Amino acid sequence: MPDGGRLILAVNPGGTSTKMGLFREADAIFEDNIRHLPEELAEFSTTFDQMEFRAEIVLRALERAGYTPAELDAVVGRGGAFKPLASGTYRVNETLVEEVREGSTLQADHPSNLGALIVYDIARESGIPAFIVDPVCVDEMVEEARLSGLPSLPRTSLSHALNIRMVSYKAAEKLGRHLSEINLVVLHLGSGISVNAIRRGRMIDVSQANDGGPFSPQRVGSLPTTGLVRMCLSGDHTWKDMKKMLLREGGLKAYTGTDHVGEARERAAAGDAECDLALRAMAYQIAKEAGAMATTLHGAVDAVVITGGIANNKWMIDRLAESIGFLGEIIVFPGEEELEALVRGVLRVLDGVEEERTYI
């Protein structure tokens, strides 16, 4: 770890935790994953109400590490489901903060929306810049990808854009080329699954983790439309019930009772036929979506990049490689590197490699 260099704090609020890290340039001084108990979060009626609670936790962790906000050169937060934005690094300004607080432009209620607010408050007190990088709402889809079949329900772009773009840069480095010169299919495999087509650095199509694509450990993916409508109109389920069923208790969990791919694989290996079928079906759907994204690139795929927590599972990687290896080189970056991605986005701006974007 170098003694000199700029000190950058990165904050990533998630559903059940707040991840944070302090970096000297791109080198981590410390990283922390602060878990939040369900009963702690239950005290807040809305996600927005959690802001001060999470901000205080971040500041206390920074203090325990022996640092103060006054020593920072910049602070960066996870960008949320704001209005559609191009990829890049944005300076957090009053317009962004007010729109998040007011809520009219938010596409989803998620703790990632708090990242901009937390870092803005820290930065304002310290007189330093605050940024967000490649927020969940990155939208660079081509126009024909937006049509769903019903004008009143256009397809939208919400994805794990931060990690997806981070591993895209790394894949380009591995291939010895610039991201603007290559085409990629990127699979982010976590509790939600995003499958993206990257054409010369632009995310031209997205399999949105909440509204389609393959089913995942917790989410249902694409469903038979008329059957879903009948279920919604049956009177047996509230919106709260449906949201929980579709986004938290669907997919692998609905078929097997677990949302942990490793556990399901162990049970399958021990003879559990339901786990075996569900895992094979999830791999089948992921591969099918990857093939669909390859067609948006006219088959000109330089590599298929697999990332996210499930990328640590060898069985799943081997299964996918069997199905989609013909598309291009398979490059695997297991896990998520979102804190590093946040910091590197800031450094690209501070070093003049790319221009900071303005939220308007």
Tracing tokens 């879903």 back to the chain, one arrives at 228
Give the pLDDT mean for 318-338.
96
List Cα–Cα distances, 89 to 65, 92, 135, 229, 319, in angstroms.
27, 9, 9, 39, 35
Whole-angstrom distance, CA of residue 67 vs CA of residue 71: 7
Which pLDDT belongs to residue 38? Answer: 82
Q: Determine the topology of domain 161-334 in CATH.
A: Nucleotidyltransferase; domain 5 (3.30.420)
Chain centroid, CA 31 distance in Å: 18
Phi and psi, residue 195, nearest 5°: -120, 125
**How does residue 259 score in pLDDT terms, banded at 50, 70 and 90?**
very high
Of the two residues 302 and 209, the one the predictor is more confident about is: 302
Look over the chain and give the mean of its residue pLDDT values, rounded to a whole number. Answer: 94
Q: Is residue 141 a contact partner of residue 203, using CB atoms and an 8 Å limit?
A: yes
Which pLDDT belongs to residue 3? Answer: 57
Tell how strand 17-24 and strand 27-35 pair up. antiparallel
Tell which CATH classification among 3.30.420.40, 3.40.50.1820, 3.40.250.10, 3.40.190.10 matches the domain 7-139+338-358: 3.30.420.40
**How does residue 55 score in pLDDT terms, banded at 50, 70 and 90?**
very high
Dihedral sign, Cα of residue 306, residue 206, residue 164, residue 298: positive
Collect all residues with Cβ–Cβ distance below 8 Å to 99 and sequence separation of at least 6: 82, 83, 105, 106
Nearest CA to 10 among 104, 118, 95, 103? 118
Q: What would the pLDDT profile of 1-52 be if each residue is shown by its tens digit?
A: 345 799 999 999 988 889 999 999 999 999 999 998 888 888 898 889 999 9
DSSP character at residue 63: H
- Laid out side by side, the sheet with 202-207 consists of 202-207, 193-199, 183-189, 303-308, 329-334
Phi and psi, residue 336, nearest 5°: -120, 140
Which pLDDT belongs to residue 41? Answer: 87
Which pLDDT belongs to residue 110? Answer: 85
Q: Is residue 10 a contact partner of residue 342, using CB atoms and an 8 Å limit?
A: yes
Portion of the chain with pLDDT greater than 90, in percent: 88
Residue 251 has pLDDT above 70, yes or no: yes
pTM of the model: 0.89
Whole-angstrom distance, CA of residue 312 vs CA of residue 315: 9
Q: What would the pLDDT profile of 115-148 be if each residue is shown by its tens digit?
A: 999 999 999 989 999 999 999 999 999 999 999 9
**How does residue 191 score in pLDDT terms, banded at 50, 70 and 90?**
confident
Collect all residues with Cβ–Cβ distance below 8 Å to 116 and sequence separation of at least 6: 77, 79, 80, 92, 96, 97, 100, 130, 132
Which pLDDT belongs to residue 16? Answer: 80
Residue 64 has pLDDT above 50, yes or no: yes
Q: What would the pLDDT profile of 161-175 be if each residue is shown by its tens digit?
A: 999 999 999 999 999
User: Which segments within 222-337 are labelled E, that is strand?
Assistant: 303-308, 329-334
- Domain range summary for the chain, segments of one domain joined by +: 7-139+338-358, 161-334
The encoded tokens of residue 3 equal 């003694």
Tell how strand 193-199 and strand 202-207 pair up. antiparallel
